[in-house]
Structure 1
Amino acid sequence: MSRAARTIYVWSIYALVVGAVLAVIPNVILGALGVAETQEVWIRVLGVVVIILALYYWDGAKNEARHLFVASLLGRGFAVAAFILLWLTGGPWQLLIFAAAEVVGTAWTYSALRE
């Protein structure tokens, strides 16, 4: 597995865990982040979507799908910008935790792709 693929593989595991928690026990992660707990189904739907994305990334890493690695830089960069914008417009500060995780992951993937 290339270094770039490894960055995507690690990200897929992170996404799989976050997605599973959101889908099965969402209030655990919400409570840990200081966000109000919910009984709404939509947080679980988001968890399912994150799991699906994690599976795409897992497969992409396994198959050395370099085009996916490059595309992930755009998507993850957008996520950083969106999380910061949401925070700036009144969203909870905890969005910055996810933004920071994406900055670190994106930088790692970018660095690996430059090799």
Structure 2
Amino acid sequence: MSKSAFSVRVFSIYMIVFGSGLIVAPNLILSIFAVAETHEVWIRIVGLLMLIVGYLDFMASRSELLLFFRWTVAARLAVPVFLIAFVVLGFAPPVLILFGAIDAAGAMWTAVCLREDLVVQLER
């Protein structure tokens, strides 16, 4: 498994675990981050979307889909931008910035790994 595939695999596990938690026990997850309890379906829909993205990331990592990995870098770097905007506009609590930081860190890790994998390929 390439370094970039491994980085995407790790991120996929985070997405699958967190998404599953939001589907099964959303208020438990929310309470950990001091976010108000909710009975709206939207939090479970967010969990479902995280689960689906996690599945796609997992399958892409199994298949070494380098182009997909590049796409995830750009997409994951957009997450903190939007989450910070939501917080600044008063739409969301500041704790959401933590999740943006996780996405950004994962994206940067994958970007570095993609470069390292390219060097390895060029040396062959």
Segments ≥4 residues shifted beyond 3 Å: none
What is the match of residue 57 of structure 1?
57
Matches for 1:63-82 after TM superposition, within 5 Å: 63-82=63-82
Secondary structure in 1 matching 2:60: helix
Matching of residue 41 in structure 1 with residue 32 in structure 2:
no
Matching of residue 7 in structure 1 with residue 1 in structure 2:
no
Matched AA of 1:109: T
Distance 2:13 2:64 in 1: 16
Distance 1:114 1:49 in 2: 29
If you compute each CA radius of gyration, which structure gives the higher value, 1 or 2? Answer: 2
User: 8 Å contact 2:79–2:104 — kept in the other structure?
Assistant: no
**Cα offset, 1:84, TM superposition:** 1.0
**Cα offset, 1:106, TM superposition:** 1.0
User: 8 Å contact 2:79–2:100 — kept in the other structure?
Assistant: yes
Which runs of no fewer than 5 residues in structure 1 stay unpaired? none
What is the match of residue 101 of structure 1?
102
Q: CA RMSD in A?
A: 0.8
Q: TM-score, normalised by structure 2?
A: 0.90
Identity of aligned residues (%): 36
